[in-house]
Structure 1
Amino acid sequence: MSVYSKYADHILINLLKEDDQLAYTEIFKRYSKLLLQHAYKMLGSRDEAHDIVQEVFLSIWNKRQELIITGSLSSYLYKAAKNRILNHIAHEKVVSRYADSISSFIENDYVLADSNLREKELESIIAKEIALLPEKMREVFLLRKVEELSYDEIALQLNITDKTAKQQVYNSLKILREKLKNLMHVFLM
């Protein structure tokens, strides 16, 4: 047992300010386990708690000449540990938000790219299926769905009745729905 273990905290602080390593060692022995328990309770990680306590004591050593402790050494150490823990937690939240943001961006960008690709593929398949429709049916369908003509306008242009135009569009939609029904399940997933 060293003589330093008998010194009061304020004497150890004064010796520490004079670069006394044994005073520093005694302060570490006195408070490191308590600070470690405190940090562990707040962080839930032994490794992070050890890091925080090491940072607190390293900071005390590095700033030993300017060290100003107005209250007790224990409350100063607890406050220093608490501040480092809060900074650590805030930093973790920022890092987590940043990682989530990047992850979300990458995911959404991929989904958008994937969605655009699927849309182009689907348009291509639909165009091929429309091209396979019988000629008159295809012509009526394109006038109605692409050029957006009314049934009366189609009937007038093709010299057919509006009822025939409606029936041709109905028949073409029925054929396309049947052919594309199975493909839609793949594209909607």
Structure 2
Amino acid sequence: MKEGLFFRFKNGDEKAFKFYFDKYHAKIIGFCVQFLHDEDKAKSIAQEAYIKLWLNREKVIREKGIPAFLYTSAKSECLNLIRHHKVISRYKGVKLQEYEDQLNQQVLEALQFDSMNFIELELMIEKAISELPERCKLVFIKRRKENKKIIDIAKELGISSKAVEANITRATKELRLKLANHIPLILLVFHQTTKNLF
């Protein structure tokens, strides 16, 4: 029955969509409220997550990809709000990476993955990153881990912004291939590459 519901959802059945909306909507809002402390913003983010889910439903390859997509989308938007200082007063003096780590762990807990799974996943990701070509790896780390802007990376390495973007694209593609068997869990870490991974 569940498989039939999932395929109906993928085929655009609004009743099937409503089933998943009712199942996860309150949880997504609660997840966002924990970090934004603003219910209105949390509701807006949850709504946006469902719109994205509907528009990208054909890309979701299994039923458990639905909550992964929703939580990942919500996490990205929460981080975007923090980055753009819309809720900065609550995060003054605290590194963004610390909150991103908390968000990652909260998503994993919401999807019922234990800490060992998370540790194993992190090791798997680190290994995949270490196997990237040297320039790709360097650019990827500066962008993804150090949260540096593309233009700043370009200046630091003495290359063009397009070259930085090309290296990020190449690194992301290689990581997708190496970690393909672990999608959608892998999305929880690479939140900014959600659109093309499902």
Q: What TM-score, normalized by structure 2, do the two folds share? A: 0.39
TM-score of the superposition, structure 1-length normalised?
0.41
Instruction: Specify the structure having the higher radius of gyration (Cα).
Output: 1
